[in-house]
Structure 1
Amino acid sequence: MKSNETRPLIFRLIVIALLTILQVIWMIMLVNGLIRYNMLLNVLITILSMLIILYLLDRNDSPAYRLSWIILVALFPVFGTLFYLYAGNKRPLADMTERIDRQHRHHKRDLETMPNALDQLIQKDQRIGSIAKYVNNYAKFPVLAGSEVKYYPNGEAIMDDLIRDLEAAESHIFLEFFIVEYGEMYTQIFDVLKRKASEGVEVRFIYDDFGCLLRLPENYVEQMAEYGIKALKFNPVRPIVSLVYNTRDHRKYIIIDGKVAYTGGVNIADEYINVKERFGYWKDSMIRIEGTATWNLTQMFLIVWNAFEESELDFSLFTDEEMLEQGKKALNDLDNKKGYLQPFNDSPLDGEPIGENIYREILNSAEKYVYIFTPYLVISYELQTAMTLAAKRGIDVRLMTPGIPDKKMVYRMTRSYYRPLMEGGVKIYEYTPGFLHAKSIVSDDRIAMVGTINLDYRSLYLHFETATLIYYHPVVKRIQADFLQAQTKSRMIRHKHLRRTFVGRVIDALLRLLAPFV
C-alpha cells in the first residue's frame, strides 16, 4: 500500500488501542478511588469477585481457561473482576447468538437439502462414521458424497486454478476471509471480481474487521459498492461500544456458482503465495472442492450474511438442481471411489468445542498413525492427553510446527508443550524453511481434515472457524505425502533442544498460565 493509504489505517489502530487502554484504566481508577472512601464498595467488589470465581467453577469451559481467570480474579480482585466483565464474559455475545440461531431455525429445511451420506459412511466404518455423526449432530452439517478434491501444499499452487475458476463464474461468487491485504494476490483476485460484478455476477464478500484492521480502509465496504461488490465487515471494532473483540471470523473460503469451492489456511495477502517473504518460506495448505460438498460452505456463508445484513438472501436461489441430482446419484453408488466430505463450521456461540473434540476423536480412533500440521500449539490438558495416550498405545503421532515463528511469545509458549508430549512418545518436528501456517490432520489413510483451526485457545474456543473432514477419499494419501515431504525439510526436536534454566521454567509456567488470553 502507498504511504498515504497506510497512514489512516495506522491512525485508526492507534486510536482504537488508546481508547481501549483508557477505558480499562478509567474503570480501574474509578473503582479504586471509590474503594478508598467506601468500605461497603470494597466489600461489594470482594463479593463480586467471589461470585465470578464460583460462576467460572460452574461453567463448562476448558479447565485451563477457567483456572487462568480464577487466578487473575483471586490475585487482583478489582482488575481481574473488571477485566473479566470486559473481555472474558460471553454475555455480550447474546445478540450475535440470537441472530445466527434465528437463521438456523428459519432455514432448517434448506440446510437439509442435499442427501446425507452419513448412514452409508457408518456402514463402511463405524468408528470413523461416529466422528461424522458427532459433527452432523452438533455442527448440523451433513456428510456428502460425490465430490472431487484437489490438495494444494502451498498458497502459490492455487492461483492458476483459482483465477481460471473465477473467470468462469456465471451466477455468483462468495468470499469470506480473516485477513485481506492489498498486493499482488489481492490484485489478481479482485480484478476478476470487479469485472465479473460488472458482467452481472453476484459477488459478495465477508471480511473480519480486526483481521483487516491495518490492511483495509475504514470505508472499504463503500469502496467495494462502487464496483458492484457487496461487502460485509464482520464484528466491527468499536472501542467502548463493542465488548466482543475476541469473537473473530477466522474462516477462509471462496465459493464459485455453488459448484466449486476453495478452503484452507490461505488468506488474501502476498506472504501466503510467497511473492513477499515474511518469516522465511510460508507453507500453507488449501483444497479445491468440486461437487455436492460445496453446499455446506454455501450454507455457512448465507447464514452469516443473512444474520448481519438487512437484505436477506433466499437459500433456494443458490440451490443447484444439477448438484442435487449428483448428490442423489452418489448416494446410490455402492462402489463409491470418491469418498465422503463434510465441511463444517465451528462456532464460539454454541459452547461445544467441535474442532478440539474432532482432533481428540481422530487420535482416539487411530490404528497406525496421526500426522498434524499446526502453526501454534497452545492446547488443553485433554488434547495433550489424547496425543500422548495415542502414542503410548503404539500409534505413530507426529506434530509439525514452524521453524521460524511469526509471534515469538506464542512460539515460546508452543515449545513449552514439547516436553510432556515427547515424554509421552509424540514426535515433534519444526519446519526449518520458515513459517508453517497449515492446519490439518491425517490418519490411517482413511480420514483427514484441512481447515482454519489452529491448535490454540482462540481457534478452539473463541473464533468462528471452518474445516473439511475427508473420509476414504484418494486425496487423504496426498495429504499424508505432503507431511512426509515437509518432514524431510524439518528438524526433529530432541530433549537436548529443550534444556531450560530455572528462570526459563518459571517464564514457561507463567506463559502457560496466560495461554487462554493469548
Structure 2
Amino acid sequence: MREFLNTAFYWVVTELTTLLGFGLAIVFIAHLIRQKRSPSSTLAWLLAIVLIPYIGVPFYILFGGRKMKRMAARKQRVYAPGTPKKADLIDFDTQRLLRSYGVPEESQGNRVEIVETGEEAYARLVEMIEGAQSTLFIMTFVLSNDEVGRALIEMLTRKAESGVTVRLLIDDVGSWWLPRRALAPLIKAGGQVAYFMPVFHIPFRGRANLRNHRKIAVADHRLAFAGGMNLTASYIGPLADPARWRDLAVMVEGPTVDDLEWLFFSDWKFATGEDLAMQFPRPLEPSHNHAPATLSHRPGNSVVQVVASGPDVEGDPLFESLLSLVFFARERIWILTPYFVPDEMLVRGLALAARRGVDVRLIVPWKSNHPITDVAREGYLRELHEAGASVLLYRPTMLHAKAVIFDDKLVAIGSPNMDNRSLFLNYEVALYIFSAESVGETARWAERLMAGSTVYEPKRGASREIAESVLRLVSPLL
C-alpha cells in the first residue's frame, strides 16, 4: 500500500510539474508573440521555450525582456519637451522617420571634435573635469578600479569638495567589479553616485539583460563628451599604449549638449528619483558664454542629431534609421564595429547595397574579446564578402569603435554595436553628425585602420558551417 501511495504521489507531482511547465510555456509564448521582435529573434526564443522549457522559461524571465512599457511610462522622457532652437535643416526621409518617433530634430551651430585615441580622450576628459565650474554629469557602462578609474574618481572628488555638483551614474553589470569603497571619498565629498538598474534589487525593477550602455559626460551644461569609450585603462589613459583598444569619442559644444544632458537627466531620475531637470531648467535659447576652456566658445557649423534607443524609447528608431540610411546610400557605407551579429534585414540591406555598386566596407577586430560572437559573425561576414563588400579584420589590437559613414554627408558615432543587443535591447545613444569635415576626419581615421587590417577570407569546413548556422539561428539571444 505504501509503495502504491509513493508511486501515486510521484506520478501526481510529475504530472503537475509537467502541466505547470507547459502552462508557463504557453504564457511566455503569448508574451513573446505580443512583443515587437524580428522573426529570427521570435523564433530563437520560441525554440528555447518549447524544446527546453526548464531552461528556456527561466532564461526568458531573466533575459527575454525588451520593451518595458510600465517602466518606460514611469521614466522621464529621454528627449526634452519643447526645443525651440531646432530647425528643419536636412531634408532626409530618414529624418522624417526619426521625427515620427519623437526624436528631436537635428540642431545647427555645434562645434564637434572627433577624439581618435585613448590618450587624447583622457586628456579631454581631464580638462573637462578640471575646468568645470558648476556641474559635472557622467554616465558610463564600465568604471574600473584601475589607475584610470581611481584617477578620475579622485578628480571628481576634488571638484565635489570645491562645490561643483557631481553626479555619477554607472551600470550595475558593466561596473560589477568596482568595489563600493572606491566611491566612498566621492560620496563623502558631496558627490552622488547611482547604479543603473541593480540586478539584486528589492523590489525587482527590471531585467538583467537590459543594460545602460550609454557613455555621456556633460560639464557646465555647455560641453559634452560621448562615444564608445568606457572609463578604464583598456580604453583611455595619460600615455600612449599600443595594446590599448582602439575607439572613438566626440567632444561637442552647442545646442546638442542640451539633448545629451537631458538624456542623462532622464536616466538619473529613473535610477534615483531625483529630478535634475527641475533643478537645472533648460534655457530658452542656447548660450555659449563662459564655456569651458577645452573648446572655443565660438559657434560651430556642424549639424548634429542625438538618437537614443532602448527600453525607454518608443519603437526602434536607431535600428530603423540605420536601415533607412543603408537603403538610401549611393556612394559608400563604411562600418566600424567590435561585434557584428546584426539583424537579418540589416545584413540583407548591406549586401544589396554592395551589389548595386555602393562602396560597402566593414572593419571588425581580427579577434574580439567575445570568442562566441566571432564564430557567430562568420556567416554574416561571408554573406557580405560574397556580395562584393570589403570585409577587413583589424589585427594590431582590439577594435572597439562604433561608427558608420554614409556617403559624404553623415557619420554616426556613439555607444551602439552592430548586434541585436545594442540595436534592440540596451540603452544606447548615437550622434548623427552631418558635417563633411567630421565625415572626412572619421574616414581618414578608418583608412589608417584599414592599413593595419587583413582582407577577410571565408573559412571552410562542414563542421564550421554547421556551427555557424546554429549560432546564426540563436544569434538574437547572444
TM-score scaled by length of structure 1: 0.82
Tell me which residue corresponds to 1:382. Answer: 345
Q: In 2 relative to 1, CA 273–121 (structure 1 residues): closer, same or farther, beyond 3 Å?
A: same
Distance in 2 of aligned mates of 1:410 and 1:112: 41
Deviations 1:407-444 (A, max 9, x none): 11111212232111111222100111111000010121
| 1:318 Cα offset (Å) | 4.8
Q: Please, which moves more after superposition, 189-198 or 459-468?
A: 189-198
Tell me which residue corresponds to 2:3. Answer: none
Contact 1:183 1:269 in 2 (8 A): yes
Select the structure that is richer in helix. Answer: 1
| Match among 57, 73, 82 for residue 81 of structure 1 | 57
Distance in 2 of aligned mates of 1:99 and 1:178: 22
Q: Give the counterpart letter for 1:503 in structure 2.
A: S
| Match among 84, 89, 92 for residue 120 of structure 1 | 89
Contact 1:114 1:324 in 2 (8 A): no
1:97 aligns with 2:72: yes
SS class of match (1:404): coil
| Match among 144, 159, 174 for residue 211 of structure 1 | 174
Tell me which residue corresponds to 1:46. Answer: 22
Tell me which residue corresponds to 1:186. Answer: 149
The within-5 A match list for 1:116-155 is 116-117=86-87, 119-122=88-91, 129-155=92-118
Contact 1:340 1:473 in 2 (8 A): no
Percent identity (aligned): 26
Tell me which residue corresponds to 1:234. Answer: 196
Task: Give the gaps of 5 or more residues in structure 1.
Answer: 1-32, 123-128, 327-335
Tell me which residue corresponds to 1:508. Answer: 468
Distance in 1 of aligned mates of 2:232 and 2:10: 48
| 1:315 Cα offset (Å) | 4.2
1:362 aligns with 2:325: yes
Deviations 1:333-379 (A, max 9, x none): xxx98131012321224452222222212211111111010000111
Q: Give the counterpart letter for 1:99 in structure 2.
A: R
| 1:484 Cα offset (Å) | 1.2
Distance in 1 of aligned mates of 2:411 and 2:63: 34
The within-5 A match list for 1:6-405 is 37-39=13-15, 41-50=17-26, 52-53=28-29, 55-89=31-65, 93-100=68-75, 103-104=76-77, 110-117=80-87, 119-122=88-91, 129-214=92-177, 216-218=178-180, 222-238=184-200, 242=204, 244-273=207-236, 280-315=243-278, 317-320=280-283, 323-324=286-287, 338-350=301-313, 352-405=315-368
Q: Please, which moves more after superposition, 483-492 or 274-283?
A: 274-283
Q: Please, which moves more after superposition, 246-255 or 154-163?
A: 154-163
Deviations 1:483-512 (A, max 9, x none): 111111111113xxx232221112112222
Contact 2:145 2:179 in 1 (8 A): no
| Match among 426, 450, 454 for residue 463 of structure 1 | 426
Q: In 2 relative to 1, CA 392–229 (structure 1 residues): closer, same or farther, beyond 3 Å?
A: same
SS class of match (1:121): coil
SS class of match (2:207): coil
| 1:143 Cα offset (Å) | 1.3
Task: Give the gaps of 5 or more residues in structure 2.
Answer: 1-8, 290-298
Deviations 1:108-148 (A, max 9, x none): 8x53234112x2322xxxxxx32233323315333111010
1:409 aligns with 2:372: yes
Q: Give the counterpart letter for 1:383 in structure 2.
A: L
SS class of match (2:208): coil
Contact 2:62 2:209 in 1 (8 A): no
The within-5 A match list for 1:441-480 is 441-480=404-443
Contact 1:370 1:395 in 2 (8 A): yes
Contact 2:123 2:238 in 1 (8 A): no
| 1:90 Cα offset (Å) | 5.0
Contact 1:35 1:42 in 2 (8 A): no
Tell me which residue corresponds to 2:5. Answer: none
| 1:321 Cα offset (Å) | 6.2
Contact 1:35 1:41 in 2 (8 A): no
SS class of match (2:170): strand
Contact 1:152 1:158 in 2 (8 A): yes
Q: In 2 relative to 1, CA 223–138 (structure 1 residues): closer, same or farther, beyond 3 Å?
A: farther
SS class of match (1:412): helix
Contact 2:156 2:186 in 1 (8 A): no
Q: In 2 relative to 1, CA 431–262 (structure 1 residues): closer, same or farther, beyond 3 Å?
A: same
Tell me which residue corresponds to 1:517. Answer: 477
Q: Give the counterpart letter for 1:67 in structure 2.
A: L
Contact 2:145 2:182 in 1 (8 A): no
Question: What RMSD in Å do the two structures reach over aligned CA positions?
Answer: 2.7
SS class of match (2:418): coil
SS class of match (2:273): coil
Deviations 1:383-416 (A, max 9, x none): 1111011111110000000123211111121223
Deviations 1:177-222 (A, max 9, x none): 00001223224433322221111111111000100111x1245665
Contact 2:256 2:305 in 1 (8 A): yes
Q: Give the counterpart letter for 1:136 in structure 2.
A: R
Number of matched residues? Answer: 460
Deviations 1:78-103 (A, max 9, x none): 43234323431458x45532321xx2
Q: Please, which moves more after superposition, 286-295 or 241-250?
A: 241-250
Q: In 2 relative to 1, CA 296–74 (structure 1 residues): closer, same or farther, beyond 3 Å?
A: same
Q: In 2 relative to 1, CA 283–55 (structure 1 residues): closer, same or farther, beyond 3 Å?
A: same
Distance in 2 of aligned mates of 1:278 and 1:472: 30
| 1:38 Cα offset (Å) | 4.7
Contact 2:409 2:436 in 1 (8 A): yes
Contact 2:216 2:264 in 1 (8 A): no
